[in-house]
Structure 1
């Protein structure tokens, strides 16, 4: 019997099964198709077989870490949400996917990772609280720099750090000007295209729905202190109902509802408790060692030792000790 496919993705928050755009899209597509995945929701990308999230380990042991390639592999395994689409609907899927990546993705990246208020009070706060120590000290900042680089590639130049500054950019001074206006127009177009339908192509979800839902739900659910685009989305009631419908239908315990708390027996600690405490102590010691090592390597802390007078016979030993310290 072949090993089950395993999906590693960012864990959930804000009422969503995952707080990461790519992880949410892959999770949603898998739920739409009923793909038999063993899902690992984690907050440490180093526990992923690729070192990134999301990542799929196939039944053959191959590791795929690009969302579109993960979905392509699921299609090859006969879990295809687009099987019944016509040629016209397939063309519409490609057109709307291009629209999402060009008009909506840059603004979502800016909203969650560049806008100062949102990043400090929402994005970084979640990742810092979810990640294990000591990753929570430096990994959110590294992720922000990666998203900044990604956004500069999309827009061509550095973007202002606040939504208000972006809105005030005068005409013609910056290649990305009007990006929020274009994102609002994109949301309005999606609302018009959906209309009163359950999904974009009728009563059954397709791959386009997985991606649209991941974009909209992330923007809709987070409590953003700086959220003009979020306010525009909340005014498009059919898109809000669309997200609520998918959450309640496909993620009843992960998103729309909260599962009942697991009851733990009162009394003496269980057999697992000593091991859990041991792991916590080891994690703390490892974190302290990592911080001390970083301080020594970066020069924040240095150790001065008095060098004793050397005789000619001990010079070779002294050189060996210095190389080992380096």
Structure 2
């Protein structure tokens, strides 16, 4: 099994916390089940595009999602099915007409733009959701010291995009300040409360305008085209699942989807269950021998099978594993060795006090003798001059 899908780790009952990673996993599971493995990754820099997900097939790597779909759909198409077996179609859109394929491409781009903005708002813009859920979840996936600065960098990446769509820094459910003993609780200005309500209503209206399109497009059908999932179903489901599955402290958009658009929530769960009927149906984790990138790049933590089968399990943020201590010890030994071999040479000479006094006396005697000799020489010169 040479095909390896590298994705962000999973939580909240999902195979990953990223919509693109979920979509890639769903697509591969629906087209080439049992022919690929999953590698949990928290370093997008090793991807060809600098983003997750990406697929490796031996020494060949493919990213982003659109390229992964194209790569998988053209892989092993000429292979004949085994005797008495069924041939798995690698292309989910093989039955679509040219017109339907054009529609599918347009709707997928719209989902990644508009529904992606709504998801980014729920996960990264709403302060309480970021502070209490998304931020700690990301930190728990990362090794030391990346967990202390990478989550904030990821959030900063979404900021310009959400600012452009007017979905950044929208007031959420703020934590109320506790009044001091003996003081009355400060009443918030009515204008401020009205502004918060108005801005949250703007988000709801924007979300309704976007989700109405797909609710009408889906209608009472199970899937958008024909009777089987397509790329459009996979892309929309990956975004909707991340809106309804996580336990958001401020469930503004989650409540909107589950209450006002239950057909979209049901559709997303149907697509996910078609690919993964249970947690046991998840692809196997790639071994270290299969995962060539992880073999080349040192990491402090390696993924466990439990993290894929049970995404809800929390990691111990305060625990530093054996690998961390190993790297610290190696660094310390290297520093000491370098100092011993190449450090500055310092020589310390100890001189006893008696010896120093003796040296001083000898120097004084020699100095006195030289003075007497000089005086005798001057006197002899004077006598010679008188004789002349």
TM-score after normalising by structure 2: 0.59
Which digits, 9 at most, give the CA deviation of each residue in 1:4-43, with x for residues without a partner? 2221101110111111111111111111212622221234
- Cα distance in 2, alignment partners of residues 182 and 226 from structure 1: 17
Report how far residue 130 of structure 1 moved. 1.7
After superposition, the Cα gap between the structure-2 partners of 1:167 and 1:185, relative to the gap in structure 1 and judged at 3 Å, is: farther
Deviation, structure 1 residue 197: 2.1
Which residue of 2 is the match for residue 316 of structure 1? Answer: none
Q: CA deviation at 1:49?
A: 7.0
- Displacement after TM superposition at 1:127 (Å): 0.6
For 1:30 and 1:9, locate their aligned partners in 2 and report how far apart those are by CA, in whole Å.
Answer: 12
Q: For 2:263 and 2:332, locate their aligned partners in 1 and report how far apart those are by CA, in whole Å.
A: 50
The 2-side partners of 1:150 and 1:286 are apart by 42
> Does the aligned pair in 1 maintain the 2:48–2:63 contact within 8 Å?
no
Deviations along 1:83-128, whole A, 9 cap, x unmatched? 1112232132123223313422112112111111111111101111
Distance 2:332 2:51 in 1: 24
Relative to 1, partners in 2 of residues 1:284 and 1:219: Cα closer, same or farther, differing over 3 Å?
A: farther
Shift of 1:238: 1.9
- Distance verdict in 2 for CA 1:108–1:167, change over 3 Å: farther
Q: Equivalent residues in 2 for 1:33-52 (5 A)?
A: 33-34=31-32, 36-45=35-44, 52=51
Residue 344 of structure 2 aligns with which residue? none
Indicate which of 255, 259, 263 corresponds to 1:238. 263
Deviation at 1:167, TM superposition (A): 6.1
Correspondence list, 1:211-226, <5 A: 211-226=235-250
Displacement of 1:286 in angstroms is 8.2
2-structure distance, mates of 1:180, 1:8: 34
Shift in alpha-carbon separation, 1:287–1:40, aligned structure 2, 3 A: farther
How far does residue 169 in structure 1 lie from its aligned partner after superposition?
A: 4.5
Give unmatched runs, 5+ long, in structure 2. 78-89, 174-194, 283-304, 307-319, 334-388
1:165-211 Cα shifts (integer Å, max 9, x gaps): 676349xxxxxx94542322222322232233221113211100110
Offset of 1:277 from its aligned partner? 6.5
> In structure 2, the residue corresponding to 1:252 is in which secondary structure?
coil
Aligned ranges 1:200-211 → 2 under 5 Å: 200-211=224-235
Indicate the RMSD between aligned Cα atoms, in angstroms: 3.4
| Structure 1 residues without counterparts, runs of 5 or longer | 171-176, 263-275, 290-326
Could you say if the C-alpha distance between residues 277 and 143 of structure 1 is closer, same or farther in structure 2, counting changes exceeding 3 Å? closer
- In structure 2, what is the Cα distance between the partners aligned to 1:209 and 1:63? 25
Deviation at 1:82, TM superposition (A): 0.4
* Residues matched between the structures, number: 263
2:148 to 124, 137, 142: 137
1:250 to 236, 250, 275: 275
Residue from 308, 325, 331 that aligns with 1:281:
325
Partners of 2:48 and 2:332 lie apart in 1 by: 25
* 1:147-296 alignment, distance < 5 Å: 147-152=158-163, 154-155=164-165, 159-163=168-172, 168-169=198-199, 178=202, 180-235=204-259, 236-254=261-279, 278-282=322-326
2:116 to 99, 105, 109: 105
SS state of the match for residue 238, structure 2? helix
* CA distance in 2 between partners of 1:255 and 1:119 (Å): 30
Question: Residue 244 of structure 1: CA displacement?
Answer: 2.3
Following superposition of structure 1 onto structure 2, how do residues 16-165 of structure 1 map, counting pairs within 5 Å? Answer: 16-34=14-32, 36-45=35-44, 52-59=51-58, 61-77=59-75, 78=77, 79-152=90-163, 154-155=164-165, 159-163=168-172
| Further displaced range: 237-246 or 10-19 | 237-246
